[in-house]
Structure formats: structure tokens, C-alpha cells
Structure 1
Amino acid sequence: MATTFAYKVRNSDGKVLTGTLDADNTALVANKLRAMGYTPIAIDQKAAVSFKTEITIPGLSNRVKLKDLSVFCRQFATMIDAGLTLLRSLAILAEQADNKYFGKIIDEIRLDVEQGLSLSQALAKHPKHFSNLFVAMVKAGEASGSLDRTLLKLADTLESQVELRGKIRSAMAYPVAVLCLVMLIMAAMLLFIVPIFSKMYKDLNGTLPLPTRIVIGVSHVLTTSLPFVIVGAVISGYLLRRWLKTDTGRAAWDRTKLRIPVFGKLVQKTAMARFAGTFSTLLRSGVPLLDALDITKETVNNTVIANGLEAVAEGAKQGESLTQRLPDHPVFPSMVVQMMSVGEETGALDDLLARIAIFFEQEVSATVDALTSLLEPIMIVVLGGAVGTMVISLYMPMFNIIKLIK
């Protein structure tokens, strides 16, 4: 377990500084301070505070957001460009990280580098937080001696992904909120309002209209078997999530997303922007073509597109052009195929892929804006239609109440 040490050091200007560090022993504290460019004067162990505990929330306290990675890349690139050593840069980044969990990970990476691993090898030990794309680009930057420029490219890529996700979420937020509101209103009516009408119609002879019988039947099931309905819904949701994590379920869901009216096009454009941007960034960083295809296939987040890229990679291994097999996969628009073909012929594939990414990012932005303005009236109609249909179903017998009373 790490112990807290109080230290007194002298910096390069001769100024005496004090502070605290967590480490297993004084030797590690001294090494860390020297890596940060300080000369240790005194290192003393602090008394432990027994009542102090660190509260962690699973799934929240141990998360590293894309924004954290983006800031890390930009600051890391700036420090390297300024002439700081790799170890000192990592030590400073670990100290000043706002996300304390991420700071611990950076410190572990620094220790691995200090023990002789390359930066890419140290990053690869944390696959949960550093993707294959991240590790491959850092490895290419190390090999080419341009790690600072590679980190800046990574920061641009991550920021682009953050922006793209934000646009998608903004498009989905309104319909999801309205859908939840509709479900709450319908559930409240079925549980509290419909039973009142059901008791009133129970003493009437005659046959109720079909819509009324359906509403009353659903209400009866909910009111008499609500615990079973909730348990069934939870179990169904759990089984659905388990199925979606399988290869078959994931493939089926990805195909379904592409076929949803309106939203399917948005999913396709988003995936194309991610594919072109990632592929372009990897090629510009010096990653070999086949490796770039494999990494891009893992990052597109859609099995339909991943299958197309796998076919492209198989064809490339056999000496085929990149675009020879793409027409067999309709998820790739003809414009993408044609531009990639031109890029391959002219030797400017990375540049044309970057242009494709920019084009589809603009398309996503335009689609989101159009959806935002279009969905508001549609959702209002859906909300009014759902509630209105139920109200009409309940009041239909009233129009024939005289005939029902005997």
C-alpha cells in the first residue's frame, strides 16, 4: 500500500520547494523527484490518518473520458516539444491530472517506462483506456521520431470524436425524453385512470368497443401483475443486453440501426466519418496499410462496416486494390469508393480520406440540425396521439351509454 511522504527539494533555480508524494518507499520518492528535475533535500514519512477513506463509485470513479485523453495528448505534446524528458513529462501530467484515477494510470505508465518499456508498450498494458488506435499511433510516432506531432494528431482525432458524439446525443436526447414522458403518462393512466372507468363499465350490460376492451385488459394485467411485469421487463432487458454482446446479436443490431428510417442515414454518416478520419490519421502517422485497416476495423463500432474493411484487407493481402471489394458492401457510398480509388491511384489516399471525413462530419452536423427542427413537431404529434387514443378509447362507450344500460 502506498505511503505519503513529505519532501523538501531544490529546483533548477535554487529555490526550495515542499510538498507530498505517495509511493511505496523513500527511494521511489527520490527517483520521482529527480525525474521531475528536482534535487531532494529531505524526505520524511507522514503519519497515517486512520479515519480518512477514499470513496469510489464503480463505473464512475474509474472512468477515463475521451476529453481527459485529449487534454493529456495536448499537454504531453507541448512538454515534449519544449524539451522535457519523457519521464519528467509523465510525472508532471500524473501530478496535475484533474481525474485522480487517470493520474494513477499515468504514474503507472511512467514507472513502466522508467523500468525500460517503450511508451507504446506501457500504454498497451492499459487497453481499457488506451485503444489500439492510440497505441499504434504512439508506436509510429516513436519510430519516426515525431511523437509530439503524433500526439497532437491524436488530440485532434479524439476531439473530433467527442464533438461527433455530442452531436449524435443532441439529436437523440429530445425523442428519448419525449418517449420516456409518453411511457410515464400511459403507465399512470393505465394504473390509476383506466381502473375507474373499468369499474364504471362493469355494471353495464353489452359489449364494449374493441379499443376500450384492449385498454381495460392491459390495465387489468398491469394492476394485478405489476411486480411480475417489472421482473419480466428487467429479465428481458438483461437477456437482451447479453445477446447484444454476442457476435450474432451485435451484427443484427448494427444491421437494424442502418435500416431505421432517418436515423439509419445518420448512423451510416457517423460511421463513415469515423472510418475515414481514423484510417487517414493512421496512414499519415506512418502505420502500415494492413495494420491501419485492422485498427480501423476495430474502431468503427459497426460490424457491417467492419466486415467490409475485413474484405478489403483480405483483398489487399492478395494484391487487389483497396476499392475492388468495396462495391460488394452497399454501406460504403459510391462517393467514398470513387474518392478512395482516386486517392490510391494518385498516392494521396490519406489526404482524400481526410476530406471524406470532413464531408461526412459536415453531413452529420446538417442532419442533426434538420432532425432537431423536424423531431419537435413529430414528437408533439406522437405524445398527443398516444394520450388522445387512450382517452378516446375510454370515452367511446359513453357515445352508446343509453343502449348499454338496461
Structure 2
Amino acid sequence: MANFTYTARNASGELTSGNLEATDASSVAHILLGRKFTPIEIKEAKASANTSLDMSLFTPKIKLEDLIIFSRQMFSLTKSGIPIIRSVKGLADTASSERMTVILNDVCDQLERGRTLSSAMHRHNKVFGQLFVSIVHVGENTGRLDEAFQQLSDYLEREQETRKQIKAATRYPTFVILAVVAALVIMNIFVIPVFANMFNSFGAELPIMTRVLLATSDFFITKWPYLLVGIIFAVFLISHYIGTPSGRYKWDRTKLRLPIVGSIFERTLLSRFARSFAMMLRSGVPLISALNLVSEAVNNAFMADKIVQMRKNIEKGESLSRVASSSKMFTPLVLQMISVGEETGRVDELLGEAAEFYEREVDYDLKSLTSKIEPILIMIVAAMVLVLALGIFTPMWNMMGAIQG
């Protein structure tokens, strides 16, 4: 839940303002209209809770694994009927992360002051995201908080498994690329200069490939400060550009169009969308609010924009299946699942099946990723060896031929 400040006019036309807790601005507008207020301006209030916590910059950040353990334990405790304050306090005392202990103690303090669990968690929105807080809020309102934490633990476990698969699949290509870069640096700094001195002593005319290698080696040795500054400056510019809204949008769109890995990124995002959307609907979150929260959960600006467009079209009165089809994000199989789910009232169930479909596709693609990238890596290494062979051994053969002649 988020805090919103609003300005509105009541039934008699008088201007009034105040604060409300809701999942998004649309929910605030619905609440105000229900109270016969006409909203004029709605803004999200900035959270300032984290500034009061005594944690140094070197305190380890909370990992996904910490949230999984917290969700599992909260599920077990709430299912057993243990009071919320007692449960949170107990988990704060046994948390393995120092930062998690501090945050849970603050949550417990807020609970003792009369705040709800979801609003206390929202004070730490960098740890408990909007999706997490909204599920907890729905669980509180429906009296099924244990089921809410069970759904969250299942969702986070699947997210963790996907991340592990991606890391495992990219470990080998990353190692090979780093090894190639290290080999190039060593060759240019230590090996090629030795041959350069030998070639200079003969005074013979060198082939073009050899001259390129010698010039590259000389640049590495004499101009390395400029090279280092250039790399740092380029990394800074790229990071700054990606940090802007337009840069983030373009980068996230480019990732989905990369050869070989682009389709994996896309299916991973679609799996995350279907899984989180199904979980929100199953928990009872309204369709419009669920789409808002899911757009944040996918963690991709390009995909989030597509989901927001879906939400806007639904607000205009279009059906979910129609906006899903017009978004051009889904395969025909998944579109059929959404359509059937809408007709039968089982959208959450069929979205869950769609998520499993995408997860199986991603799992298969990740297992075959190494075999797809391996030929490209072999070609890169072969090209490097060929350039070195032509640049170093060709002039040596020419000199041997001249000596024998």
C-alpha cells in the first residue's frame, strides 16, 4: 500500500484535502468518488522511513533468499495462529541478515503503534516491493494472510530458480570471453614487443597484418592511461544514459531483440508477467490495480509500457483477451488460454498454466544456450589465433626464405 495526498471538492463544492492509503492513484480516485468527492489532484507521498534506520552503507543488502525465508516462515506462523506482532518479532530476532533484523524491528514497532502489516512494510518499499505489499494487503483484508505468504514464497522461489538458471547458462561464455580478453592484453604487453624488437633488428619491410599488431601493441603500452580513461568514461556515459527513462526504455527494448538471448529474455519476462498477474488475480486484487502492479514487477521499461497500454485499453471498456492480442506480446497459444479463461472465469488458473508454458520454454532454451554460443566463441578464438599467426609467423617465414636464398 502507498500513501497518497489528494485535493478534491465535496458535494457542496468546497475544496478539501487529505491522505489515503491505496495500491495506486486509480484506487484513491475510486474511494473519493465513493465518498462523493470530485478528485482534482492525487499525488503519491514520498516515503521517508528508511532515513531513520541506523544502518551503515556497508551493511549487506537483503537478498531474494532472505525474502523467501521470511515468506515461508510467515506462512507457517500465521497458519499456526500466532499473532502477527509476535511472529514478526520472533523473525527479527532470528534473521540471518542484519539489515533484515533492523527492518523487521521497525515493522514490529509500527504494528505496535496500530498500523497494518502492509502499511508497515510499505515504509520499506526498497525491500518489500509494491507487488509484495499489495498481496499482503489483500491477505489482511480477506483474512487469508497465510495463503498470501504462501503465494509470495512460491512466486519468489520460481524467480530465484530462473535467476540461477540464467547465471549457470552464462557462466561458461563469460569465462571464455574474459579469458580471451586477458590473453589479448598479455600478448600485446609482453609477447608482441619481443617480436617487435627482433623485426626491427632485421630492418625488413613487414606485412600489413604485422604492422597492425605492432601498432596495437605500442598503443597498449604507451597510451594505456588514455585507454583506461576512455573505457571508464564510456562506461559512465552508458550507465548514465541507461539510468534515464528514455535510455532505460531503449535498452530494455534492445535486450529483447538481441540474437540468441533476446528470445530468452522475452520469455522470461512473459513468464514473470503471467505468474505475477495470476497471483494478483487469485488474491483478489482488482484487474486494473493488478496490471499496474505487474508493470512494476516485470522490471522492464519496454514491457511495462505495453502492460500500461493494456490497462488503459481495459479502462476504455475493452476485454482482456482483446488488449492482450493487440499488445502483440503473447503467442497464439497463450492468447487462447487468456480468451478461454475470460470466458470461463478462470483467468488466474489459465495464466498460471501460461506461466508454466513459458518457464518450460525458458528452461529448454537455457539448457541449449551453451551449445548455441559455443560455435561463436570458437570462431572468435580461431580468428584471434589466425591474426596472431599471420602477423608474427609470416614475416619470420619471409626472413627465413631470404636467408636461405
TM over 0.5: yes
Match of 1:103 among 94, 101, 104: 101
Match of 2:278 among 280, 286, 303: 280
In 1, Cα distance between equivalents of 2:100 and 2:59: 10
- What corresponds to 2:110 in structure 1? 112
In 1, Cα distance between equivalents of 2:350 and 2:58: 39
In 1, Cα distance between equivalents of 2:395 and 2:253: 44
Q: Give the superposition deviation at 1:402.
A: 6.1
In 1, Cα distance between equivalents of 2:237 and 2:76: 47
| Residue 61 in structure 1 maps to residue 59 in structure 2 | yes
CA contact (8 A) 2:314 2:323 kept: no
Q: Give the superposition deviation at 1:238.
A: 1.7
- What corresponds to 1:242 in structure 2? 240
Match of 2:381 among 364, 383, 399: 383
- What corresponds to 2:89 in structure 1? 91
In 2, Cα distance between equivalents of 1:329 and 1:400: 63
Q: Give the superposition deviation at 1:206.
A: 5.7
- What corresponds to 1:262 in structure 2? 260
In 2, Cα distance between equivalents of 1:101 and 1:132: 19
- Larger CA deviation: 394-403 vs 85-94: 394-403
CA contact (8 A) 1:308 1:326 kept: no
Structure 1 residues 404 and 210, CA gap change in structure 2 (3 angstroms): farther
- What corresponds to 1:127 in structure 2? 125
Q: Give the superposition deviation at 1:282.
A: 0.7
1:168-187 alignment to 2 at 5 Å?
168-187=166-185
CA contact (8 A) 2:277 2:348 kept: yes
CA contact (8 A) 2:260 2:372 kept: no
CA contact (8 A) 2:188 2:216 kept: yes
In 2, Cα distance between equivalents of 1:62 and 1:325: 42
CA contact (8 A) 2:310 2:327 kept: no
- What corresponds to 1:70 in structure 2? 68
Structure 2 letter corresponding to 1:143: N
Structure 2: give runs of 5+ residues left out of the alignment: 1-53
Q: Give the superposition deviation at 1:387.
A: 3.4
Structure 1 residues 57 and 241, CA gap change in structure 2 (3 angstroms): farther
- What corresponds to 1:394 in structure 2? 392
In 2, Cα distance between equivalents of 1:86 and 1:218: 66
Q: Give the superposition deviation at 1:378.
A: 4.6
CA contact (8 A) 1:304 1:331 kept: no
1:349-400 alpha-carbon deviations (Å, 9 max, x no partner):
1111100111111111111111234444553443344234323322222233
SS in 1 for 2:96: coil
Structure 2 letter corresponding to 1:130: F
| Residue 149 in structure 1 maps to residue 166 in structure 2 | no
1:298-353 alpha-carbon deviations (Å, 9 max, x no partner):
11122222121111011001001123244444443333323222222221111111
In 1, Cα distance between equivalents of 2:390 and 2:161: 44
CA contact (8 A) 1:205 1:404 kept: no
Structure 2 letter corresponding to 1:336: V
Structure 1 residues 75 and 390, CA gap change in structure 2 (3 angstroms): same
Structure 1 residues 345 and 208, CA gap change in structure 2 (3 angstroms): farther
1:114-171 alpha-carbon deviations (Å, 9 max, x no partner):
1011100000000110000000100110111100111010000001100011011111
Match of 2:318 among 299, 311, 320: 320
| Residue 353 in structure 1 maps to residue 351 in structure 2 | yes
CA contact (8 A) 2:60 2:97 kept: no
In 2, Cα distance between equivalents of 1:271 and 1:222: 41
Structure 1 residues 254 and 58, CA gap change in structure 2 (3 angstroms): farther
SS in 1 for 2:321: coil
Structure 2 letter corresponding to 1:62: P
SS in 2 for 1:323: helix
| Residue 290 in structure 1 maps to residue 288 in structure 2 | yes
Structure 1 residues 59 and 371, CA gap change in structure 2 (3 angstroms): farther
| Residue 304 in structure 1 maps to residue 293 in structure 2 | no
In 1, Cα distance between equivalents of 2:349 and 2:57: 39
CA contact (8 A) 1:195 1:219 kept: yes
SS in 1 for 2:322: coil
- What corresponds to 2:135 in structure 1? 137
SS in 2 for 1:324: helix
Match of 2:208 among 210, 215, 235: 210
Structure 1 residues 323 and 213, CA gap change in structure 2 (3 angstroms): farther
In 1, Cα distance between equivalents of 2:55 and 2:103: 17
CA contact (8 A) 2:250 2:302 kept: no
- Larger CA deviation: 182-191 vs 303-312: 303-312
In 2, Cα distance between equivalents of 1:136 and 1:236: 40
CA contact (8 A) 1:275 1:300 kept: yes
Structure 1 letter corresponding to 2:95: A
**RMSD, aligned CA:** 2.2
Q: Give the superposition deviation at 1:247.
A: 1.4
Structure 1: give runs of 5+ residues left out of the alignment: 1-55
SS in 2 for 1:259: coil
| Residue 368 in structure 1 maps to residue 370 in structure 2 | no
- What corresponds to 1:252 in structure 2? 250
Q: When the two structures are aligned, how many residues end up with a matched partner?
A: 351
In 1, Cα distance between equivalents of 2:402 and 2:351: 71
Match of 1:159 among 157, 160, 182: 157
In 2, Cα distance between equivalents of 1:86 and 1:180: 49
Structure 2 letter corresponding to 1:295: L
In 1, Cα distance between equivalents of 2:159 and 2:58: 21
- What corresponds to 1:232 in structure 2? 230
